[in-house]
Amino acid sequence: MRRLLCLFVCLVSCCVQAQGLTNPLSPDPEVVAHGRKLFHRTGCIACHGTNARGAVGPDLTDDEWLRAPSDEMIFNTIRNGRSGTVMSGFAGDLSEEETWTIITWLRDENRKRKAP
């Protein structure tokens, strides 16, 4: 019985992890504006520029960067950093909601960039 319970817990855990994280915020103007402010306040502009279009770090608004990574990958990169690069994590500086707010702004910048 105990083995069956352990197997069940493992299967449920795998299913939950497989679903991944998705941004719970809607891209309304207030959220987008707050995301831009957080991007600046946290110091992201030092590497990614004032509009996240790149400087020392990559352009975070282009299709190549935003289309391939999932919301979960972007969230984890902001929170935990990226090994082998100078990108450090901001889990100690940003709440989870603030992290999602920045992602909402980045996705909005990408959308605006593609608009005619």
Look up residue 28 and give its DSSP letter.
Answer: -
Q: How far apart are CA 14 and CA 4, in angstroms?
A: 15
pLDDT in tens, 28-84: 999 999 999 999 999 999 999 999 999 999 999 988 876 778 899 999 999 999 999
Quick one: fold of 2-114?
A: Cytochrome Bc1 Complex; Chain D, domain 2 (1.10.760)
More confident residue, 113 or 44: 44
* Contact residues for 74 (Cβ-Cβ < 8 A; gap 6+): 66, 103, 106
Q: How far apart are CA 60 and CA 96, in angstroms?
A: 19
In this predicted structure, what is the pLDDT of residue 19?
57
Give percent of the chain with pLDDT exceeding 70: 82
Q: Quick check: helix, strand or coil at residue 75? A: helix
